[in-house]
Structure 1
Amino acid sequence: MTIAQARSAPLVAIVGATGTQGGSVIKALLESDKPYRIRGFTRDVSKAAAEALKKQGVEMVAVNLVVENNEGVAKAFAGADYVFLVTNFWEHMDTTRESSEGKMLIDAAKAAGVKGIIWSGLQSPKNISEGKITRVVHFDGKASVSEYGRVSGVPFVVVQAGIYASSLLEPAIARSMLEKQPDGTYVLPWAVRPSTIVPLIDMANDYGLYVRAVLERPVFPDGLDVYTSSENVTAEEMARQLSEGTGKKVTFKQITPEEFIKPLETLGFPPVATDSLQGFWEYFDEFGYYGGQVTGLEGLARPTRTFAEFVKGSDWSEVFV
């Protein structure tokens, strides 16, 4: 549908509008039969992705979402009814910075008088493991922002992101996830058991559906945690579906967390990243990605994309080489 311009339509401000998560939220709202005004934030409104959103009716705002620009961030949220907030740890790999920026976004939204905040957070392995696993900083940093948001006084919902199916398509990451064998076959070497449930999500296509479902509830559900996936499959089933969808022979192989990060160290990933990822696999294998919480696909506006559909609809030419 065309984005509404009438002031009676709720204004949703979306951080990372040209990124995967923010873009998915915009996609889902555009599909809705309900009217929305949409304001998208990005650092460069002249890039092609921002221009494309403008043509669809999105109000694009250039803003640098850093603590040093907290006044500018507060102004950018002015007039918004609801906000979607996300931070990118992997852009800088600094947990302190991510936590500070996430809290700044919440403060700015609160100052703007929004009716509800939706935050892309994650579980805390440290809390779930009762202090046993303490180094998964790319999860715990987001969890600290969630804790801050829950006591902000503004209705607050956490929509947690599952494992990106698209990560398998990124050549640098795929080298640690799909390993070519001398006979030309491939193994999927993950540091979990074959029966481990993996909450895979086609982020661009499906994540926004969960955010839309929150916004379209009769009452904004303060305090809710939403656990997203397009489909829950076992690690072993992932390998089988990759084989069927690509025509390449792929088998699952359980490895240790230490073995998983070795290729990343070779590629030059910094210690903060490899250490966090090693801790992540230890957590994932013992406690589950969502710490035992179950994703729910009910209440979404349309069916999500299965992993088999994702595999068949993707270009794997740069991965299986």
Structure 2
Amino acid sequence: MTITQSESAPLVAVVGSTGIQGGSVIKALSESDKPYRIRGFTRDPTKATAEKLRKSGVEMVAIDLVLENKEDVSKAFAGADYVFLVTNFWEHMDWERELSEGKMLVDAAKAASVKGIIWSGLAHAKKISGGKYSLVGHFDSKAQVTEYGRASGVPFVDVQAGFYASNFLGNFPLIVKEPDGTYCSISFNSDFDPSARARLSSASSAKTKIAPYVLPWPVRPTTVVPLIDMDNDYGLYVRRVLELPVFPDGSVVCTTSEDIAVGEITHQLSQVSGKKIVFKQITAEDATKNFIASGIPPAITADLVEGMQFHDEFGYYGGRATTREGLAQPTRTFTEFAKGVDWNKILV
């Protein structure tokens, strides 16, 4: 069923509508056999993604969802029955800003008297680990928003995002080439730090020896990753929440396309890409060196490395189980995702 304009249909306001998570939510709702009105938000209504959504029937509102626009943000949710909220930490890499903006979104939803909030949160690594892993800010800031949202009095569901399968396509040194046991090269998305990309490109071009690709992670090869094809599958979980007979206030939904061990990831990548890829368990110190070498700031490096250690010891979701039951369609396996990638452009 296409998106409707009928006022008899629930209005779902979707933050991040032109991004990965919000876009996945809109895709899933637009494919439902139930009617929805959808309101999306964008800083630039002229961008191609925003225009495509508008043509599909989404009500697009031009607004920057930042603290400086707090009053306008509250107005933007007016009339909505449900809201999907998400913050983009990687856009600014500021934990305090993420927490403040997340709270602002909750406040705006409450002011609009919505029937329910669906929030894209993550596990509280510091609490779950008893303080052992206290630097995983991009998890903990979202978890603090979750706590704030639950205390708001508005029915609240936390739909946590799994490990993006697209993370293997760039930005972080998840797959590297080691000609002589040293860090050599990495692929970057176009929006990553240009200076870091230039430094790494220069270092890589100086080494021409062909070598296996390596996943050098500070985890065990048996560590299970809840990999998710975000574009295709995340929205299915949000749709399931909205289409349950009763809005599941207080619940936590742990999303995944496929739960897969790190060692198996390398095996499947090798088969699909035709490249020789092996897993290498490394120390936290060596992982830190890899991230720093790629141009990632020290504070963010500490966040990422401790996050991987937390994942290895306590599980990505801190011990909570994933389930794909009740979704509108099967999720994509990692192999299915990988077959859609031109690895010759990624593994260079």
Q: TM-score range, shorter-chain basis? A: over 0.9
Q: What residue is the counterpart of 2:166 in the other structure? A: 166
Alignment of 1:107-126 (within 5 A): 107-126=107-126
Structure 1 residue 177 corresponds to structure 2 residue 174: yes
**Identical amino acids, percent of aligned pairs:** 66
Return the match for 2:345 from 293, 315, 318: 318
Alignment of 1:24-103 (within 5 A): 24-103=24-103
Secondary structure at the aligned position of 1:318 is classed as helix
Q: What residue is the counterpart of 1:261 in the other structure? A: 288
Task: Give, in whole Å, the separation in 1 of the partners of 2:117 and 2:305.
Answer: 31
Q: CA contact under 8 A between 1:93 and 1:272: conserved in structure 2?
A: no
Segments of structure 1 that go 5 or more residues without pairing to the other structure are none
Q: CA contact under 8 A between 1:125 and 1:136: conserved in structure 2?
A: yes
Q: Could you give the per-residue CA deviations for residues 254-300 of structure 1, whole angstroms, max 9, x where no partner exists? A: 11222223232123222221111121122111111111111100000
Secondary structure at the aligned position of 1:177 is classed as coil
Q: What residue is the counterpart of 1:188 in the other structure? A: 215
Task: Give, in whole Å, the separation in 2 of the partners of 1:254 and 1:18.
Answer: 37
Q: CA contact under 8 A between 2:121 and 2:160: conserved in structure 1?
A: yes
Q: Could you give the per-residue CA deviations for residues 200-250 of structure 1, whole angstroms, max 9, x where no partner exists? A: 000000000000000000110000000000000000000000011111111
Task: Give, in whole Å, the separation in 1 of the partners of 2:247 and 2:78.
Answer: 20
State which drifts further: 261-270 or 48-57.
261-270
Q: What residue is the counterpart of 2:6 in the other structure? A: 6
Q: Could you give the per-residue CA deviations for residues 157-195 of structure 1, whole angstroms, max 9, x where no partner exists? A: 00000100001012x32xx11122434321111111011
Secondary structure at the aligned position of 1:138 is classed as helix
Q: Could you give the per-residue CA deviations for residues 2-33 of structure 1, whole angstroms, max 9, x where no partner exists? A: 11111000000000100000000001001101
Secondary structure at the aligned position of 2:237 is classed as helix
Q: CA contact under 8 A between 2:2 and 2:31: conserved in structure 1?
A: no
Task: Give, in whole Å, the separation in 1 of the partners of 2:142 and 2:57.
Answer: 31
Q: What residue is the counterpart of 2:145 in the other structure? A: 145
Secondary structure at the aligned position of 1:236 is classed as helix
Q: What residue is the counterpart of 1:218 in the other structure? A: 245
Secondary structure at the aligned position of 2:344 is classed as coil
Task: Give, in whole Å, the separation in 1 of the partners of 2:338 and 2:313.
Answer: 28
One-letter code aligned to 2:4: A
Structure 1 residue 243 corresponds to structure 2 residue 240: no
**CA positional deviation for 1:156:** 0.1
Q: Could you give the per-residue CA deviations for residues 81-127 of structure 1, whole angstroms, max 9, x where no partner exists? A: 00000001111111111101000000000100100000000000111
Task: Give, in whole Å, the separation in 2 of the partners of 1:240 and 1:282.
Answer: 22
How many residues are paired up?
318
Q: What residue is the counterpart of 1:105 in the other structure? A: 105
Secondary structure at the aligned position of 1:108 is classed as helix
Q: CA contact under 8 A between 2:216 and 2:282: conserved in structure 1?
A: yes
Q: CA contact under 8 A between 1:37 and 1:58: conserved in structure 2?
A: yes
Secondary structure at the aligned position of 1:195 is classed as coil
Q: What residue is the counterpart of 2:185 in the other structure? A: none
Secondary structure at the aligned position of 2:7 is classed as coil
Moved over 3 A (4+): none
One-letter code aligned to 1:297: R
Q: What residue is the counterpart of 2:188 in the other structure? A: none
Segments of structure 2 that go 5 or more residues without pairing to the other structure are 180-209
Secondary structure at the aligned position of 2:246 is classed as coil
One-letter code aligned to 2:24: S
Q: What residue is the counterpart of 2:155 in the other structure? A: 155
Task: Give, in whole Å, the separation in 2 of the partners of 1:37 and 1:121.
Answer: 24
Q: CA contact under 8 A between 1:17 and 1:41: conserved in structure 2?
A: yes
**CA positional deviation for 1:57:** 0.6
Q: What residue is the counterpart of 2:319 in the other structure? A: 292
Secondary structure at the aligned position of 2:299 is classed as helix
